[in-house]
Copies of this chain bind each other. A is one copy, B any other.
């Protein structure tokens, strides 16, 4: 155990202002989450590395951003934008043009480490309100200037990359307020650029801030919660970690207000309608290609953390975990909020990551829960006190019937505390040439094992590559599969080829192209094969209707017009 005395010198300082690293670093500049000692040992072992390989950080991206690329907008166009939003809300500096053009894909990170820059915005505009947005869209439509929305910037598929330059519309700068809570209707009207924590906090404090009788929760907690915005959740069809109870973002939307080149409108505020195809649904998932979401009314839920019940189980096998999950989702006794099952590799590595005591490991193995077969399940139930008690009790009964052993709520609570911090490991690993990335899909129950085996086999066919898979969003008809892969790789081309292979494998094995990451530009090339040309034609017809001059997030997003 002498190895453990050495610890890599993980970065512990915020990236200097103005650097590439300050753009690609995840989350809070002063927050870090380093791989644990156990993880470090595992990585070394699996990737045949030695401590010496973790001495020098490479390609840290610490240079200052410099583009040497003039804006292709004319001075009078910049001036016109300034006259709409005020000069202080228009930025043309190199740093802004890159920052508000960047998301969080691995390719971007790899490239920015080397100072390689692809598309950037010609100008960044920070609208103050929806009236500004309306004027900007009208002006840009007339002048044929592309407009690409930047909100949280956590896109993992080049969704906010301004492929043809033009305006990066930074909606989270000013348009980030909670406008109204309607307690009777249990809805909240929100500006699109409001970040998750500010939104959730305002709902918790509704009695003080809005004189409501109860406290509320948004019910939507994606891993990117802290650095994603309400508008982003809606337009990309996001899904939160408690979606099994609260629904996906699309389910939590009540109504939306849009500005498009074809006009501005607000969808109707009704709990249900039978008045033709619902425009409120049609807009969900357009990822900015039809127009700009300027306000959204979300359903909200009673916040009752005191009633939350946590549970964790160990199943003897993946098959047992999946079978039990299906039974739970179809049993009609209510639903858990968080619900996750990890496949054997994720369970094994997860136990190392979270540091399972040796004794517990031995006990589990003795009881027949073998390493690389056993599967961890964790979750929680939310809602009314008696309801959560019932749901937790029922889940336990089904789990035990499928051979699981209860681990109490400990693992679930532990997971919850670090639920948003995983992305922080990316920079640490990247500093030593190790990539961690994810791809994901939805699938029906009858195809879940085939998809899992097929995609996993592809990922594992690459030597020395970790593949951890979990399902974390459940429905009576199926679930998602979330593939995390870790590999030693520092060449963007090599990465891209591997990533494409995984997407191919997902498509080939019958997964959806995305369960909740969205399409952006990354998945776009697979869209027509996936949906078929007739359904792609529907999306194109809508694009032509809303945006005849192709200025809204153009460049092939969603496999629409270039």
Residues of A whose CB lies within 8 Å of any CB of B are 182, 184-187, 236-239, 248, 250, 254, 260, 262-265, 267-279, 281-287, 290, 299, 301-302, 304, 326, 330-334, 382-384, 386-387, 390, 394, 442-446, 473, 475-480, 512-519, 523, 527, 530-535, 537-539, 541-542, 544-546, 558
Contacts and interface: CB of A to CB of B under 8 A. Distances in A.
Given A301-B332, A302-B331, A394-B386, A273 B477 contact: no
A276 B444 contact: no
Given A270-B478, A277-B539, A386-B390, 18 more contacts: A260-B534, A265-B535, A268-B512, A271-B479, A272-B516, A273-B512, A274-B285, A274-B515, A275-B285, A275-B523, A276-B286, A276-B539, A277-B542, A301-B332, A332-B384, A537-B545, A538-B542, A541-B542
Nearest to A273: B512
Nearest to A260: B534
Contacts of A513: 273, 275
A462 to B, nearest CB: 26
Give the 7 A-B CB pairs with smallest separation, nearest first.
A332-B383, A271-B475, A541-B545, A333-B384, A237-B274, A265-B534, A263-B534
B477 A186 contact: yes
23 contacts: A182-B446, A184-B446, A237-B274, A260-B534, A263-B533, A267-B535, A272-B515, A273-B512, A273-B515, A274-B514, A274-B519, A275-B285, A275-B527, A275-B531, A276-B527, A276-B531, A277-B542, A302-B331, A331-B384, A333-B384, A333-B387, A538-B545, A541-B545
Given A271-B477, A386-B394, A541-B545, A276 B265 contact: no
Contact of A477 (B299, B334, B517): B299
Contacts of A534: 260, 262-265
A538 B282 contact: yes
B514 A273 contact: yes
Nearest to A393: B386
B286 A277 contact: yes
A275 B304 CA distance: 33
Nearest to A385: B333
A277 B285 contact: yes
A276 B442 CA distance: 14
A35 to B, nearest CB: 29
Nearest to A386: B390
Nearest to A279: B535
A480 B279 CA distance: 20
A290 B271 CA distance: 24
Nearest to A254: B477
Contact of A186 (B187, B275, B302, B330): B330
Contacts of A475: 271-272
A84 to B, nearest CB: 22
Contacts of A523: 275
B265 A514 contact: no
B279 A281 contact: no
Contacts of A538: 279, 282, 542, 545-546
A273 B387 CA distance: 29
Contacts of A270: 442-444, 478, 512, 515
Given A277-B542, A282-B281, A302-B330, A272 B443 contact: no
Contacts of A331: 302, 384
Contacts of A382: 332
Nearest to A446: B184
A338 to B, nearest CB: 15
Contacts of A299: 476-477
A136 to B, nearest CB: 18
A272 B473 contact: yes
Given A333-B383, A542-B538, A278 B284 contact: yes
Nearest to A258: B534
A290 B239 CA distance: 30
Nearest to A530: B275
A273 B442 contact: yes
Contacts of A476: 186, 271, 299, 301
B518 A274 contact: yes
A444 B515 contact: no
A475 to B, nearest CB: 4
A282 B282 contact: yes
Contacts of A545: 537-538, 541
A285 to B, nearest CB: 5
A82 to B, nearest CB: 28
Given A270-B443, A545-B541, A512 B239 contact: no
A446 B180 CA distance: 14
A397 B531 CA distance: 49
Contacts of A473: 272
Contact of A444 (B271, B301, B539): B271
